[in-house]
Amino acid sequence: MKSFKFSRRDLLIGSGALAAGATFSTRVLSAAPPASAITPQLIEAAKKEGKVVWYTSVDLPLAERIAKSFKDKYPGVDCRVERTGAERVFQRIGQEYGSNIRAVDVVNSSDAAHLIVWKNQGWLAPFVPEDVAKHFPAEHKDADGTFASFRVFLCPMGYNTNLVKAEEAPKSFADLLDPKWTGKIVKAHPSYSGTILTATFQTSRDLGWEFFEKLAKQKIMQVQSATDPPKKLALGERAVMVDGIEYGMFQLKEKGNPVEIIYPSEGTPLIVGPNAVFKEAPNPNAARLLQSFMFSAECQQLAIDHGGLRSAHALTKEKAGRKPLSQIKLMKDDAAAVEKQSAEIKARYTQIFKV
Amino acid sequence: MTIALPAQAAERAKFKLDYTVPVLAGFAAVLCVLVVLPVSWLIYYSVTIGDPASNVRVFTLAHFYTLFTDPAFVNPLLTTITVAVSSSVLCCAVAAPMGWLVARTDMPFRRTVRLLVTASFVTPPFLGAVAWEILAAPNSGLLNQLYRFVTGAPQDEHLFNIYSLSGLIFVITCYTFPYVFVLVANALDRIPADMEEASAMLGAGTWRTARRVTIPLALPALLAGILIAFLQAMILFGSPAILALPAGFHTMTTKIWSLFQYPPQPELAAAASLPLLVVTVMLLRAQHTILGRKGYTVLGGKNADPRLIKLGWLAVPAMTFVVAVISLPLFLPYFALFNAAFSPIATTLVTPANATLHNIYFTFVELSSTQLALNNTFILGAASATLGTVLALVIGYATARQAVTGHRVLGFLATAPIAIPGIVLGVGLFLSYTRPPLVLYGTLWVLLIAYVTIELPAAYQQLQSAFRAVNPELEDASRILGATRLQTLRRITAPLLRTNVLATWCFIFVSTIRELSAAIMLFTSETKVVSVLIFDLKESGELGAISVLGLSMLVLTFAVVIGVNRMPGFGGTRLRNT
């Protein structure tokens, strides 16, 4: 697992004086609480609340599948999934909190920078599920125990195997600028998707914004969610995708759809999607139960096997037939830098692509 | 008798209070809250900017400068005008002849045609846009697949590209022309035979009568139709969001919406909405000037049924035209949606071998927001329709009969929301109702206010033009016999217009269900409605679930509309005015 996203040291190194000061102060004032196991008392209290609301940007069918396995395991606790793009989730929660509405219990975002913001605002509850304490490496959990990496995945390129022969498929981001791909490319949007915002940050950092300026001349089809480009490939609507969720590609491919993943030679953007419980969650016990369930080996393995995600949980196994993370050249993630550049990335992207 | 009557009236007036003025004043106050409050916030935001240091808002015109100089705003503005003009012209070109065929000729299946157009009106435009994506996306679209299959054209050739300006205009027209059609057909229904017979007696032939009598009498409705079509095309959000964004261009509504993505820029959005308001006000003035003081009273105390023109052999081309037109908003899209509902991949044709119930299972069993969204939608639909109809009826009456001083202001207030894109109204309402004294954000109330405000203009226009078509002689008779204005409205005018009232109720109900743009600003996770859920699904590409949800929503909508039309005391089974 080559991710350093949540190590506090990286945060401090990557941050400017101001942000570093903020992170530092939270470190001094608080530390992670002791690990919490799922106790019969917690289950009982969760059943009394009867429901829990999970705001997430996980691809909807997978999110509902996870919710269903939670409901099956803890009958009497309903789990409602509130799914939209991570940037929308962020706006939604900000808007609701600004209006004194406390609807969100547990959150998952594919833009790890959001967790930093929420934590600094003091909105997240320190809560460490037993599995996180025991089986998650330090770089995948917040030192103060407010969040941990629920999911890890990539944002690769891809193509439709009916429309493109394997030997003709692009191998790198640079290949996409070839005129033969004009009008044949689909791409998702960083103002909607946390995955794409994170990927745009990494790609523009490593390849420069000129890459996007040239890409914009390729008459791309602009969709919103990072979950959509794989679906557009499966429909045969476009031949190649610039970015999209790897786990969606796995799912489609394993169901027999004509899609294939490309891990570009420049490196593939690495996305980490942390989960957190809100301090003022309307269903605090059910929220903790859900959070604990989602970090269990059972749920993490379900997300891998059924959903195509990758996991930081030490006891999970990668599924056969998928390229192991260790064999893929990754771009380096940097949530603290994303947090600072987020608005600028969106503005610049919109200026280049016109929407 | 003739001497006793006024005396009696005077005697009654002594014992009865006329509540007209206070009641109308009350409605004016409600309108002010509905319209003036959010608009004031918008205007205030459009000319101020928050100073982050002192948290004080200071005056600025910078937003307007940006609006008219930055190509990122000028281009969407030009696109919007192009779309609105093209689509309103197309609407009229299609809807006027169709309305005439259905109302004034003996074309077969006239009632069926009306029902089908109603059905296409019930279709939410964003659902239609999704269906047309499935049909005419350049590569995967069913029609393009058919084209390549028939002609043997290579993979990257296509006949239609729905992700384009013309594609957008086409889809918007498909779901806007019913407005014009209904207005024209209803106006033609109301033209009594005696005027046409007079024309015939004076020697005019059938066509000449149509040209000189019927069409001029229907002209106000046609103009109102063009106006509504233009404004609808201008403020529509869902279709451009679905069709224009993938193609890489914005209209004003999607641009405004994008300004509310994080980090939100409400000031620019407020400024960007004001040109739309100005255009609308100008158009309404123009309509007023054109119609002027011409008398178009056609519904008197005594009426004969309209005469129908015999088409003869022309019935065949007429039917062909009508079927072709209806297939565009209706047959083809619904075929696409049905196909997608039962297909594993939306653009693969369903065969017995690959048919699946997975999408249905997913939508109703796995998708945890479905039940909540359906409940919210139907509660809001019924509540908005009832409240909106009452408001529109009273205000329409007050302005058509010039019942109170200041009726023009009432009329303006009732019409003004049409100029406010739903999404901007959503923000206006957000600003108004997230602070004391009325903290309504996060409740269904704020959505109810949004829906009533948005639907009021069209409802008001419908009922007001209906009032105009009712000769005041019937009301005058009632007033002379001692009834107050409100009694007259309740006992004489409203029953006379009951099909219009019913039509307006159904209209608001259906429009509420179609509404997306304000809801998308105002919903919270607990107050989500079906349109928002569908838009969410659209953004992540869940075409199968959209189809299932869209189709079930329509079935439920039809059940309600038909149920209401069958309700005893509401004019039996007549559906023709809906």
Pair (A120, A182) in one structural domain: no
* CATH number of the CATH domain containing A40: 3.40.190.10
pLDDT of residue B292: 59
Q: What's the rounded mean pLDDT across residues A161-179? A: 97
Residues B146 and B150: their CA atoms lie apart, in Å, by: 6
Residues A277 and A288: their CA atoms lie apart, in Å, by: 7
Q: Which residues in chain B have their CB less than 8 angstroms from residue A54's CB?
A: none
CB B94 within 8 A of CB B175: no
pLDDT of residue B39: 84
Residue A92 has pLDDT above 70, yes or no: yes
Pair (A348, A253) in one structural domain: yes
CA angle B449, B224, B459 (to 5 degrees): 25
Going by the DSSP 8-state scheme, the letter that residue A170 receives in this structure is: -
CB A267 within 8 A of CB A173: no
Residue type present at position B61: L
pLDDT of residue B303: 55
Going by the DSSP 8-state scheme, the letter that residue B525 receives in this structure is: G
Residue B298 has pLDDT above 60, yes or no: no
Residues B279 and B234: their CA atoms lie apart, in Å, by: 10
Q: What's the rounded mean pLDDT across residues A274-300? A: 98
User: Residue A176 — pLDDT band, cuts 50, 70, 90?
Assistant: very high
| B1-50+357-578 against B68-293+309-331: fold identical | yes
Contact A101 B442 (CB under 8 A): yes
Going by the DSSP 8-state scheme, the letter that residue A323 receives in this structure is: -
Rounded to whole angstroms, what are the CA distances from B216 to B177, B195, B391, B543?
A: 20, 12, 30, 46
> Counting every residue, how long is chain B?
578
Q: What's the rounded mean pLDDT across residues B327-338? A: 95
Q: Which two tokens stand for residue B201?
A: 């007696």
- Choose the closest CB to B442 out of A85, A99, A221: A99
- Percent of chain A predicted with pLDDT > 70: 92
Residue with tokens 């069993």: B365
Residue A336 has pLDDT above 50, yes or no: yes
Chain A and chain B share a number of CB contacts under 8 A equal to 132
Pair (A102, A38) in one structural domain: yes
Q: Domain-by-domain residue ranges, chain B?
A: 1-50+357-578, 68-293+309-331
Q: Does B50 touch chain A (CB under 8 A)?
A: no
Going by the DSSP 8-state scheme, the letter that residue A67 receives in this structure is: H
Q: Does B52 touch chain A (CB under 8 A)?
A: no
* A48: CB partners within 8 A, 6+ apart: A285
- B 528-567 residues with CB < 8 A to A: 536-537, 539-543, 545
Residue B577 has pLDDT above 50, yes or no: no
**Cα pseudo-dihedral A65, A66, A67, A72, rounded to 10:** 90
Pair (A275, A309) in one structural domain: yes
> What is the Rg, in whole angstroms, of the alpha carbon atoms belonging to chain A?
20
Better pLDDT: B274 or A21: B274
pLDDT in tens, B501-551: 888 998 899 889 889 988 988 888 889 999 999 999 999 899 999 999 999
Encode B35-63: b = buried (16+ Cβ within 10 Å), e = exposed: bebbbebbbebbbbeeeeeeeeeeeeeeb
CA angle B116, B122, B127 (to 5 degrees): 110
Average pLDDT, chain B: 84
Burial class (CB in 10 A: 0-12, 13-18, 19+), A326: exposed
CB B123 within 8 A of CB B175: yes
The H-assigned helical ranges of A77-223 are 86-98, 113-120, 130-135, 194-207, 210-215
Q: Does B495 touch chain A (CB under 8 A)?
A: no
Percentages of chain A per state (helix, strand, coil), in multiples of 5: 45, 15, 40
* β-bridge pairing A240-241 and A157-160: antiparallel
Residue A105 has pLDDT above 60, yes or no: yes
If DSSP codes are grouped into helix, strand and coil, which group holds residue A127? coil
Residue B324 has pLDDT above 90, yes or no: yes
**A287 in a structural domain:** yes
Q: Which two tokens stand for residue B313?
A: 């052999």
Residue A140 has pLDDT above 80, yes or no: yes
Percentages of chain B per state (helix, strand, coil), in multiples of 5: 75, 0, 25
> Counting every residue, how long is chain A?
355
Q: Which residues in chain B have their CB less than 8 angstroms from residue A86's CB?
A: none
Best mutation site among B149, B245, B348, B368 for testing chain A: the one with the most A CBs within 10 Å?
A: B368
Better pLDDT: B296 or B275: B275
* B513: CB partners within 8 A, 6+ apart: B122, B124, B377, B381, B530, B531, B553, B557
**A334 in a structural domain:** no
Q: Does A91 touch chain B (CB under 8 A)?
A: yes
**A23 in a structural domain:** yes
Pair (A160, A192) in one structural domain: yes
- Total number of domains constituting chain A: 2
Better pLDDT: B411 or A210: A210
Closest CA to B121 of B174, B81, B169, B72: B174
Mean pLDDT is lowest, of A20-24, A279-283, B73-77, for: A20-24
**A332 in a structural domain:** no
Show the domain range for A302.
Answer: 8-152+271-324
* β-bridge pairing A106-108 and A51-56: parallel
Contact B249 A68 (CB under 8 A): no
Q: Which residues in chain A have their CB less than 8 angstroms from residue B521's CB?
A: none
**Cα pseudo-dihedral A8, A9, A12, A13, rounded to 10:** -150
The H-assigned helical ranges of A208-306 are 210-215, 228-235, 246-254, 284-294, 297-305
Rounded to whole angstroms, what are the CA distances from B384 to A43, B222, B448, B548?
A: 41, 27, 6, 25
Q: How close B243 comes to chain A (CA, Å)? A: 10
Q: Which residues in chain A have their CB less than 8 angstroms from residue B252's CB?
A: none
User: Residue B17 — pLDDT band, cuts 50, 70, 90?
Assistant: low
pLDDT of residue A16: 39
Q: Which residues in chain B have their CB less than 8 angstroms from residue A68's CB?
A: 366
Maximum Cα interatomic distance, chain A, rounded to a whole number of Å: 63
Q: What's the rounded mean pLDDT across residues B449-466? A: 89
Residues B190 and B208: their CA atoms lie apart, in Å, by: 19
pLDDT of residue B520: 84
**A331 in a structural domain:** no
Q: What's the rounded mean pLDDT across residues B282-306? A: 62
* B200: CB partners within 8 A, 6+ apart: B206, B209
Q: Does A225 touch chain B (CB under 8 A)?
A: yes
Q: Does B51 touch chain A (CB under 8 A)?
A: no
pLDDT of residue B10: 45
Q: Which residues in chain B have their CB less than 8 angstroms from residue A355's CB?
A: 244-245, 248-250, 254, 258
Residues B472 and A283: their CA atoms lie apart, in Å, by: 61
Closest CA to A227 of B545, B267, B243, B82: B545
Pair (A124, A211) in one structural domain: no
**Cα pseudo-dihedral B47, B51, B54, B59, rounded to 10:** -20
Which of A131-140, B302-311, B347-356 is predicted most confidently?
A: A131-140
Residues A266 and A157: their CA atoms lie apart, in Å, by: 11
Phi-psi region of B471 (alpha: psi -120 to 50; beta: other; left: phi over 0): beta
CB B406 within 8 A of CB B341: no
Burial class (CB in 10 A: 0-12, 13-18, 19+), A71: middle
pTM of the model: 0.86
pLDDT of residue A17: 37
Residue with tokens 């004489």: B492
pLDDT of residue B12: 47
If DSSP codes are grouped into helix, strand and coil, which group holds residue A172? coil
Pair (A102, A112) in one structural domain: yes
**A1 in a structural domain:** no
If DSSP codes are grouped into helix, strand and coil, which group holds residue B362? helix
Residue A25 has pLDDT above 70, yes or no: no
* B162: CB partners within 8 A, 6+ apart: B132, B133, B135, B136, B137, B138, B141, B170, B171, B243
Q: Does A84 touch chain B (CB under 8 A)?
A: yes
Contact A355 B369 (CB under 8 A): no
Residue B14 has pLDDT above 50, yes or no: no
Contact B264 A60 (CB under 8 A): no
Encode B353-376: b = buried (16+ Cβ within 10 Å), e = exposed: eeeeebbbebbeebbbbbebbbeb
Better pLDDT: B135 or B428: B135
Q: What's the rounded mean pLDDT across residues A138-149? A: 96
Please provide residue A293's backbone torsions phi and psi, each rounded to the nearest 5 degrees.
-60, -40
Pair (A146, A90) in one structural domain: yes
Q: How close A59 comes to chain B (CA, Å)? A: 8
Pair (A241, A259) in one structural domain: yes
Pair (A258, A242) in one structural domain: yes
Please provide residue B50's backbone torsions phi and psi, each rounded to the nearest 5 degrees.
-75, 130
Contact A237 B137 (CB under 8 A): yes
pLDDT of residue B296: 53
Contact A350 B140 (CB under 8 A): no
- Topology adopted by domain B68-293+309-331: MetI-like fold (1.10.3720)
Closest CA to B542 of A68, A65, A302, A59: A59
* HSE-up (13 A, CA, CB side) for residue B361: 7
Q: Is the torsion defined by CA of B65, B71, B73, B79 positive or negative?
A: positive
Contact A103 B155 (CB under 8 A): no
User: Residue A23 — pLDDT band, cuts 50, 70, 90?
Assistant: very low
Residues A206 and A260: their CA atoms lie apart, in Å, by: 24
Pair (A262, A160) in one structural domain: yes
> What is the Rg, in whole angstroms, of the alpha carbon atoms belonging to chain B?
25
**A3 in a structural domain:** no
Q: Which helix (H) or strand (E) holds A272?
A: strand A270-277
CB B241 within 8 A of CB A222: no
Q: How close B247 comes to chain A (CA, Å)? A: 6
Please report the ipTM that was assigned to this predicted complex: 0.86
- Choose the closest CB to A236 out of B260, B347, B366: B347
Pair (A20, A148) in one structural domain: yes
Q: Which residues in chain B have their CB less than 8 angstroms from residue A83's CB?
A: 536, 540
Q: How close A32 comes to chain B (CA, Å)? A: 30
- Topology adopted by domain B1-50+357-578: MetI-like fold (1.10.3720)
pLDDT of residue B571: 44
Best mutation site among B70, B370, B539, B549 for testing chain A: the one with the most A CBs within 10 Å?
A: B539
Q: What's the rounded mean pLDDT across residues A45-64? A: 96
Q: What's the rounded mean pLDDT across residues B458-483? A: 84
Residue with tokens 């123009």: B286
User: Residue B16 — pLDDT band, cuts 50, 70, 90?
Assistant: low
pLDDT of residue B569: 56
Burial class (CB in 10 A: 0-12, 13-18, 19+), A321: exposed
Average pLDDT, chain A: 91
**A110 in a structural domain:** yes
